[in-house]
Structure 1
Amino acid sequence: MTSLLVDANYLVVKVGSSLVTNNGEGLDQKAIAAWADQIARIVKQGKHVVLVSSGAVAEGMQRLGWKKRPTLVNELQAAAAVGQMGLVQMYESCFSLHGMHTAQILLTHEDLADRKRYLNARSTLRTLLDLGVIPIINENDTVATEEIRFGDNDTLGSLVANLIDADALVILTDQPGLYSADPRKHADARFIQQGMAGDIELEKMAGGAGSAVGTGGMLTKILAAKRAARSGAHTVIASGREHDVLIRLANGELIGTHLRAGQIKTLAKKQWLADHLRLSGRVVLDDGAVKALTQDGKSLLPIGVVAIEGSFERGEVVACVDAQGHEIARGLVNYTSLEASRILGQPSSEIERILGYIDEAELIHRDNLILI
Structure 2
Amino acid sequence: MEEAYRKRLRNVKNVLIKVGTSTLTYPSGKLNLNYIERIVRELADLKNQGKEVLLVSSGAIGAGLGKLGFKRRPKTTPEKQAIAAVGQGMLIQVYEKIFSEYGHTVAQLLLTRDDLVNRQRYINARNTLITLLKYGVVPIINENDTVSVDEIEFGDNDNLSALVASLIDVDLLINLSDIDGLYTSNPHTDSEAKLVTYVPEITAEIENLAQSTCGSLGTGGMKAKLQAANIAVCSGVPMVIANGQKPGIIHDIICGERIGTLFLPKEKPMHSRKRWIAFGLTVQGTLTVDSGAKIAVVRDGKSLLPSGINYVEGNFERGETVCIADEDGIVFARGLVNYPSSDLIKIMGLKSSEISKVLRENGVSEVIHRDNLVII
TM-score range, shorter chain: over 0.9
* Counterpart code for 2:348: L
Q: CA deviation at 1:29?
A: 2.1
Residues 134/46 of structure 1: CA separation in 2 closer, same or farther (3 Å cut):
same
Hey, what does 1:184 align to over in structure 2? 188
- Please give the secondary structure, in 2, of the residue aligned with 1:306: strand
The Cα of 1:240 is off from its aligned counterpart by 0.9
Q: Is the 8 A contact 1:174 1:240 kept in 2?
A: yes
Q: Which residue of 1 aligns with 2:41?
A: 37
**Counterpart selection for 2:179 from 175, 178, 195:** 175
- Which of 61, 70, 75 in structure 2 is aligned with 1:71? 75
**Aligned with 2:258 (options 251, 254, 257):** 254
Matched to 1:49, the amino acid is: V
User: 2-side partners of 1:136 and 1:56: how far apart?
Assistant: 12
2:202 to 198, 213, 222: 198
- Aligned counterpart, 1:361: 365
Q: Which amino acid aligns with 2:191?
A: A
1:4·1:168 contact (CA, 8 Å) conserved in 2? no
Q: Which residue pairs with 1:99 in the alignment?
A: 103
User: Match of 1:58?
Assistant: 62
Report the AA paired with residue 55 of structure 2.
Answer: L
From 292, 303, 306, give the equivalent of 1:302.
306
Q: Distance in 2 between matches of 1:112 and 1:316?
A: 14
Query: Runs in 1 of length 4+ with deviation above 4 angstroms?
Result: none
1:1-372 maps to which residues of 2 (within 5 A)? Answer: 1=3, 2=6, 5-207=9-211, 214=212, 217-276=221-280, 278-372=282-376
- What's the CA shift for 1:276? 4.0
Q: Which amino acid aligns with 1:185?
A: T
Structure 1 residue 233: Cα displacement:
0.8
Q: Which residue of 2 aligns with 1:211?
A: none
- Whether contact under 8 Å (1:197, 1:234) holds in the other structure is no
State the number of aligned residues: 366
Q: Is the 8 A contact 2:333 2:375 kept in 1?
A: yes
Structure 2, unmatched stretches of 5+, are 215-220
Q: Deviations over 1:112-134 (max 9, x none)?
A: 11112111111111111121111
Matches of 1:177 and 1:70, distance apart in 2: 28
1:24 Cα offset (Å): 4.3
Is the CA contact (8 Å cut-off) linking 2:84 and 2:146 kept in structure 1? yes
Note closer, same or farther for the CA distance 1:68–1:221 as it changes in structure 2 (3 Å cut).
Answer: closer
Aligned residues of 1:206 and 1:215 also touching (Cα < 8 A): no
In structure 2, what residue type is equivalent to 1:28?
N
Superimposed CA distance per residue, residues 286-317 of structure 1 (whole angstroms, 9 cap, x where no aligned partner)? 11000001111111111111121111111111
Aligned-CA RMSD value: 1.7
Contact 1:197–1:235 (Cα < 8 Å) also in 2? no
Per mean C-alpha deviation after superposition, the further-off stretch among 357-366 and 280-289 is: 357-366
Deviates more, 1:8-17 or 1:63-72: 63-72
1:151 Cα deviation from its structure 2 partner: 1.1
